[in-house]
Amino acid sequence: MTTRSAAVWLVVLATAVPAAAQEKPLSLAVGGAVVGPLSASADRFSTGLGLTFGATWHINEQMGVKADYVWSTLGVQDDWPVPRPSAPIQITPRIQFGTADFMFQAPPGPVRLYILAGVGLYRRSVTLTTSGTGFVTVCDPWWFVCDPQPVPVERVAGSRSTTDVGVNVGAGLTAGMFFAEIRYHYMWGPAFTTPSGTQKATGKFLPLTVGVNF
């Protein structure tokens, strides 16, 4: 092989390696999430922390399909809505969900913006514990329990959950391996009959996620 031929092959390889990297069909992601409740969810719960894992199938340089899983704890608001429980109640809320979204990215560059929207399956759970005895009154659809009349404490204490379909829409950016993203999530919930009428425990959350792609 002549020196000139070797130089040509080096140029070809140098240009082919970045092209191959750009054409990687599947990328994985891991990161952390700050999950902020909105609307009625924010009246009961406060911001929580979680973990996220995901994968993106790149259809081409600008379009892809992204699948994510998020697990998060939530805090509890001190200022509960009326009516308040008639005995001290400790609440431990959690949320986890998996989503599938269509993603559209800006042209390749050092920093790329993207938007995405899709559907998901959401599981919300609330564990209620109390040191009280006798009878207690608790009615809050977002805790997934509504007993407007006094009932034994044993009937209220325990874990309750609901799994519902929802939608999400958001935007983010990538810079090298790193990404940051914010999405609005809306999930339908079960209906409860309360003294003020029927209420649906819909969920609204706004997670901020940061992590790395590889």
Mean pLDDT, the chain, integer: 87
Radius of gyration of the chain (CA): 24
162-181 mean pLDDT: 98
Are 25 and 182 within 8 A, CB to CB? Answer: no
The CATH classification number of 25-213 equals 2.40.160.20
Are 193 and 174 within 8 A, CB to CB? Answer: no
**pLDDT > 90 in the chain, percent:** 68
Pairwise CA distance, residues 104 & 136, whole Å? 51
The domain limits of the chain are 25-213
Q: Which of 177, 137, 131, 173 has the alpha carbon at shortest distance from 155?
A: 137
20-24, 57-61, 89-93: range with highest mean pLDDT: 57-61
